[in-house]
């Protein structure tokens, strides 16, 4: 297999971790980026000998972090074939209760972190005729007051990916976004453990409540989203660009 390099942000947990492990089957080298180095090292252990791994603990909310990640990647491997922007979690707080700091933190990491890293990696992606994926979410299509920041930022990511894809048509870089529905990650488990007692429910009751309200049979698994991410940076998806792909178990009822 010829040398191929993928950068995965948010690789310390959840969908990012699952995506990194999955991509080890397709890429000879992986760059794992997140703020928690200990968790990144655990992901690297899960990848094992399937691919070379470079671990970079960085806060992509910091403006200089993106170029540093690209510089370290090129110093280690000399190229970038794929960039999967997964980092960033926005708190599910009511529109009238979300603080300025929460808005700024969500924008700084999930939106601007992905924007800056994609721009910094773009010349290398052009040289490799590479692929980019930006992680959005179902709330981009139906933002509601109880989680307004999540929906707003996710919608902005879809628009950003579309703009990058337009540039990528002439530059030879494929760009898409992914909109997952409810996925059972460690972060979601923590949320349910916090939410349940506040509403006089057991964690089990709270866990069962949300899929029913969403009209789906079950939560998604990180590994299922990882398979979609892997497809989008595979040769089989080369003619797919500018798309926003939903994987939600049927949560979105509109056409």
pLDDT in tens, 30-82: 999 999 999 999 999 999 999 999 999 999 999 999 999 999 999 999 999 99
From 34, 45, 27, 31, select the one nearest 12 (Cα to Cα).
Answer: 34
The answer to the question of residue 252 being in a domain is: no
CATH code of the domain in which 178 resides: 3.40.50.720
33 and 142 co-located in one domain: yes
The answer to the question of residue 15 being in a domain is: yes
14 and 51 co-located in one domain: yes
**Residue showing tokens 């998806």:** 237
pLDDT reported for residue 1: 41
| Count of helices and strands (H, E) across the chain | 9, 7
The answer to the question of residue 211 being in a domain is: yes
Instruction: Give the phi and the psi of residue 143 in degrees, each rounded to 5.
Output: -65, 140
205 and 84 co-located in one domain: no
From 168, 150, 155, 184, select the one nearest 83 (Cα to Cα).
Answer: 168
Is 191 in the active site? Answer: no
77 and 45 co-located in one domain: yes
233 and 194 co-located in one domain: no
C-alpha separations of 35 from 67, 225, 229 in Å: 16, 22, 21
Mean pLDDT of the chain, nearest integer: 95
155 and 177 co-located in one domain: yes
pTM over 0.85: yes
Q: Give the neighbor-by-neighbor strand order of the sheet with 131-135.
A: 52-57, 29-34, 5-9, 82-85, 131-135, 174-180, 244-247
The answer to the question of residue 34 being in a domain is: yes
Nearest 5°: the CA angle 102, 105, 108 is 145
115 and 196 co-located in one domain: no
State which residues form the domain around 87. 5-182+222-245
Distance CA 166, CA 176 (A): 11
127 and 56 co-located in one domain: yes
> What is the per-residue pLDDT across 143-168, written as a single tens digit (0 to 9) for each?
899 889 999 999 999 999 999 999 99
pLDDT reported for residue 150: 93
The answer to the question of residue 202 being in a domain is: yes
How many domains does one find in the chain?
2
Q: Which of 27, 77, 122, 147 is catalytic?
A: 147
**Per DSSP, what are the bridge partners of residue 179?**
246
Would you place residue 116 in the very low, low, confident or very high pLDDT band (cuts 50, 70, 90)? Answer: very high
129 and 192 co-located in one domain: no
61 and 144 co-located in one domain: yes
């Amino acid at each position: 297999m010829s040398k191929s390099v993928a950068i995965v942000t948010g690789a310390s947990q959840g969908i990012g971790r699952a995506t990194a492990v999955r991509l080890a089957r397709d890429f000879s080298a992986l760059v794992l980026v997140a703020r928690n180095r200990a968790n990144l090292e655990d992901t690297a252990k899960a990848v094992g000998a399937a691919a070379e791994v470079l671990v970079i603990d960085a806060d992509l909310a910091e403006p200089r972090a993106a170029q540093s990640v690209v510089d370290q990647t090129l110093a280690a491997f000399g190229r970038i074939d794929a960039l999967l922007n997964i980092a960033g979690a926005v708190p599910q707080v009511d529109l009238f209760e979300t603080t300025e700091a929460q808005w700024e933190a969500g924008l700084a990491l999930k939106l601007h972190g992905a924007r800056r890293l994609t721009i910094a990696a773009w010349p290398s992606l052009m040289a490799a005729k590479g692929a980019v994926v930006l992680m959005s979410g179902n709330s981009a299509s139906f933002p509601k007051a109880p989680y307004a920041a999540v929906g707003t930022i996710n919608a902005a990511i879809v628009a950003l990916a579309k703009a990058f894809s337009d540039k990528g048509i002439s530059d030879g870089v494929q760009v898409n976004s992914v909109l997952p529905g409810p996925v059972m990650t460690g972060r979601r488990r923590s949320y349910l453990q916090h939410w349940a007692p506040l509403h006089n429910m057991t964690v089990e009751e709270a866990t069962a409540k949300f899929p029913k309200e969403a009209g789906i049979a079950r939560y998604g698994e990180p590994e299922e989203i990882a398979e979609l991410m892997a497809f989008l940076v595979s040769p089989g998806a080369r003619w797919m660009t500018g798309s926003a792909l939903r994987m939600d178990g049927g949560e979105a009822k509109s056409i």
